[in-house]
A and B are shown apart, each in its own frame.
Chain A
Amino acid sequence: GENVEQHPSTLSVQEGDSAVIKCTYSDSASNYFPWYKQELGKRPQLIIDIRSNVGEKKDQRIAVTLNKTAKHFSLHITETQPEDSAVYFCAASKGNSGYALNFGKGTSLLVTP
């Protein structure tokens, strides 16, 4: 089946530093790549997404980059804050459907004051 690999599995940064999470995917037909944030005991919530016709997207302190040739995409969080601490999941669409997703295994981000 299609695979999404996510690294690192855990990441600890100091408040104010940047955090980068990387994902690779195997399905060349994937065209939609969202990132979800999940706090303990809560549902995943979309924080940013990117489509295959775009190389980079930014929303305040969060940015995502996509390299379709290499089949990898990354999440960048700048000026991290303690409330950014959570588990982050990348995902890639199942083929070009967009609405069914294959998820990475998650990155547990800890931002220490």
Chain B
Amino acid sequence: NAGVTQTPKFQVLKTGQSMTLQCAQDMNHEYMSWYRQDPGMGLRLIHYSVGAGITDQGEVPNGYNVSRSTTEDFPLRLLSAAPSQTSVYFCASSYSPSEQYFGPGTRLTVT
């Protein structure tokens, strides 16, 4: 099992550009989440999904879109990147109210 994978590892965007952060898991987990991590702020929940076709907003959803068309994939879309979205992004998945498996993260810089 590859576990939770994220691509790309690093990305630099200009303000106003759009992009998609990819997240995939091969553990057949129903539940997947996106977090962002900023220095001194811990991890903040952006969006989450409880299964294919079902998503909901977390603490900081503005500027981000998600969809869940398959159990395996949960991409995060930045519609119009802003410098405030410079952060490290982690995707996580779990099969029950239990251990969340985190991906390796994507370090995003918006200039």
Contacts and interface: CB of A to CB of B under 8 A. Distances in A.
Interface of A: 1, 6, 9, 31-32, 34, 42-46, 49, 51, 89, 91, 93-94, 96-106
Interface of B: 30-31, 33, 35, 40-45, 48, 50, 56, 58-59, 90, 94, 96-100, 102-105
B111 to A, nearest CB: 22
30 contacts: A6-B42, A31-B97, A34-B99, A43-B90, A44-B102, A46-B99, A51-B97, A89-B42, A89-B43, A91-B43, A94-B45, A94-B48, A94-B58, A97-B50, A98-B94, A98-B98, A99-B30, A99-B31, A99-B33, A99-B50, A99-B94, A100-B56, A100-B58, A101-B100, A102-B45, A102-B59, A103-B42, A103-B43, A103-B45, A105-B42
A43 B102 contact: yes
A45 B102 CA distance: 7
Contacts of A93: 97
Contact of A44 (B41, B43, B98): B43
A32 B97 contact: yes
Contacts of A1: 59
Nearest to A51: B97
Contacts of A32: 97-98
